[in-house]
Structure 1
């Protein structure tokens, strides 16, 4: 009876004490969270209650297992297992506590600063710091677990002696991985690109969705994900539309006939922008930027507060102007002229020498032949 009662008391007491301490700690965190709602630390610490209870239970069982006198033939194996569970749960608890502290600091910084660019920069740094901490804690925990085995402790001296050679070999073999790792740290603390930035890489426009120590994910406008090594952003040029201020200037082009009413198009552009909520009202303009033998190129400049709004403004302006030209000024749209060129009427030598047409540029049928027939026989002009 005593052989059965002792293990039950030891194991049952350890479990009951673990549950009691865990419940009391959780109640204290709840009260602190209700008393200080402006600080999310206490609520975030509650996420670590499971590893916290595992640490308590493993520590109590490991310390009292000898007194239980249970499975003495397997005492070494059970003790080793409890030690491994204790180390693993302790590493898990350290990661949860660190995450709670870092998340609290980020939340406080985000409330104090209204600049989105600075907030995204800190968010990127916090994310990468957490990944570094998790990796370091995981490596230390794994090393600690291995050192609990006698065979690994015996091989420690030889491993330490060959650490220099192994380090050189590993550095050569993992050159690309190490370059990405250092590039990730450079991106985090060099403020080159942040989570939430609008970037253009390899001709693809998108938003930075995730940054790790080795790769970066860009979510494109059509909801595709492009995964790229972080070393790309430290070795090649790329466009970051969110760098500094997110305000942008957009360009809209039209090809219209030479007879298009440019001043009326400027007035219409202003009317279209007034009806577009995405326009930020900073600036606008419309100018003729180029000409061809058949058309002229008209460019409109519009502004918006960010990349998403500038896209909306551009499409609204382009659509509205084309609709207005089609309804009000159809002659201003580009056309392909298929009429036969009209020959000039007989002229005197004097008229041919000075290049002027008699009778006010009228054709041989008595009517004005228009710009097409005139251009058909006039030589190309040079100079101004």
Structure 2
């Protein structure tokens, strides 16, 4: 090993030792302002950073041994990609830790959580593909393939485009969904008559927890091609409604008083608003609609069930004559 190589490795070792000692520096009072970023970045990146320094020193010091230099270059590219991926994960975790813990409390928090993760995943994919392309270019026999991977052109790019056309479409749709401000993590949405809460927005699919705890997974392209209801577009409050049929002789004022009692005694009602209205009439019945607000989708669902059950029980026990009836006349 030449003197130049020894000197380069020695310098790299000294710098790496200084990097490993950086944990003490970040604990000093002067570093408190940025400790929330420096501490996790140091813990996650020190090993790949040391690997990059040592490999870079070896590459700079080695002049002979082409085979050894190629191995060092491959390891250096992989180490740089490793370092960048670690930094991206740290950035994502730090960004999430700086957000409020309750994602439903703030629309801006939900939007940030929805946008950060797809961007990090897309960037990680780009870094990985770039690293693979650079590694392939270090081998003369694979240089063309490596350039094709880097430029997304040529035969390999065409094959990848044809085989992954759906995945790429979903990935671009995921970016569109994340930044279109129409769907965020924590939103309550209705799809094909079923409501649920958005659990996760990925590049290729959206995970929704339905009201009965089933998990519905849809491709992101579904949300760019089909309409859906977003009950929490601007706030988390949800207004639930029920409809019941009663006889034309029913006293709506008395039903309204019982509804007020049921609503005000329910812990699910958020004390914001409620209303009872006659919204339709048929030859046999009148249709009474009750609307009441709740803090979120699950609470609104339970409140609707409780109100429906309470009103039916009240009509059955106290005014069975107000239940829907079929009338007929007989003329001898």
Report the TM range for the smaller structure's normalisation: 0.7 to 0.9
Q: Out of 14, 21, 25, which is 1:28 matched to?
A: 25
Deviation of residue 17 (structure 1)? 5.5
Q: Distance in 1 between matches of 2:314 and 2:38?
A: 61
How far apart are 1:200 and its partner, in Å? 2.1
State how far apart, in whole Å, the 1-side matches of 2:291 and 2:145 are: 71
User: What is the Cα deviation at residue 286 of structure 1?
Assistant: 2.0
Distance 1:137 1:160 in 2: 10
State the 1:278 CA deviation.
2.1
Return the alpha-carbon distance in structure 2 between the equivalents of residues 50 and 223 of structure 1.
41
Does residue 376 of the first structure (1) align with residue 321 of the second (2)? no
Q: Give CA-to-partner distance per residue, 1:348-382, whole Å, 9 cap, x none.
A: xxxxxxxxxxxxxxxxxxxxxxxx6xx52379xxx
CA contact (8 A) 1:33 1:43 kept: no
Higher RCO (C-alpha under 8 Å, 6+ residues apart)? 2
Aligned to 1:122: 112
| Corresponding position of 1:52 | 49
Cα shift at 1:270 = 0.8
Please tell me whether the aligned partners of residues 14 and 57 of structure 1 are also in contact (alpha carbons under 8 angstroms): no
CA contact (8 A) 1:181 1:214 kept: yes
| 1:368 alignment partner in structure 2 | none
Matching of residue 91 in structure 1 with residue 87 in structure 2: no
Residue 260 (structure 1) aligned with residue 256 (structure 2): no
- Note the residue ranges of structure 2 that are not aligned, 5 or more in a row: none
Residue in 2 aligned with 1:344? Answer: none
Greater Cα shift, 76-85 or 119-128: 76-85
Deviations 1:223-258 (A, max 9, x none): 322222211111111112221233332211223344
Equivalent position of 1:193 in the other structure = 183
State the partner residue of 1:42: 38
State how far apart, in whole Å, the 2-side matches of 1:275 and 1:161 are.
Answer: 65
Cα distance in 1 for partners of 2:197, 2:164 equals: 29
Q: Which has the larger radius of gyration?
A: 1
Q: Equivalents in 1 of 2:144, 2:239: separation in Å?
A: 67
How far apart are 1:131 and its partner, in Å? 1.4
Post-superposition offset of 1:308: 2.2
Q: How big is each residue's C-alpha offset from its partner over 1:278-302, in whole Å with a ceiling of 9 and x where there is no partner?
A: 2123322223334455544322121
Q: What is the DSSP-based 3-state SS (H/G/I as helix, E as strand, rest coil) of the residue aligned with 2:186?
A: coil
Between 17-26 and 119-128, the greater mean CA deviation after superposition? 17-26
Bigger drift between 98-107 and 324-333 goes to 98-107
Q: Give how far 1:129 is off.
A: 1.4
What is the CA deviation profile of residues 80-109 of structure 1, one whole-angstrom value per residue up to 9, with x for unaligned ones? 333322221211211222343455456557
Please give the alpha-carbon distance, in whole angstroms, between the structure 1 residues aligned to 2:162 and 2:20.
51
Of 126-135 and 169-178, deviating more is 169-178
| 3-state SS of paired residue (1:219) | strand
Quote the offset at 1:43 in angstroms. 2.6
Q: Is the 8 A contact 1:33 1:40 kept in 2?
A: no
Q: Residues of 2 paired with 1:161 and 1:274: CA distance?
A: 64
Shift of 1:267: 0.6
- How far is the alpha carbon of 1:41 from its aligned partner? 0.8
Partner of 1:82: 72
- 2:223 corresponds to which residue? 233
- Structure 1 residue 57: Cα displacement: 4.1
- Counterpart in the other structure of 2:259: 269
Pairing 1:337-352 to 2, within 5 Å after superposition? none
Deviation at 1:269, TM superposition (A): 0.8
Normalised to the residue count of structure 1, the TM-score between the two structures is 0.70
- 1:192 counterpart SS class: coil
Contact (CA 8 Å) 2:129, 2:150: kept in 1 or not?
no
Cα distance in structure 1, aligned partners of 2:52 and 2:157: 34
Size of the aligned set, in residue pairs, is: 326
Q: Structure 1 residues 161, 125: closer, same or farther in 2, change over 3 A?
A: closer
Which of 326, 333, 336 is 2:316 aligned to?
A: 326
Deviation at 1:138, TM superposition (A): 1.0
In structure 2, distance between residues paired with 1:296 and 1:275: 26
Maintained 8 Å contact 2:137/2:147: no
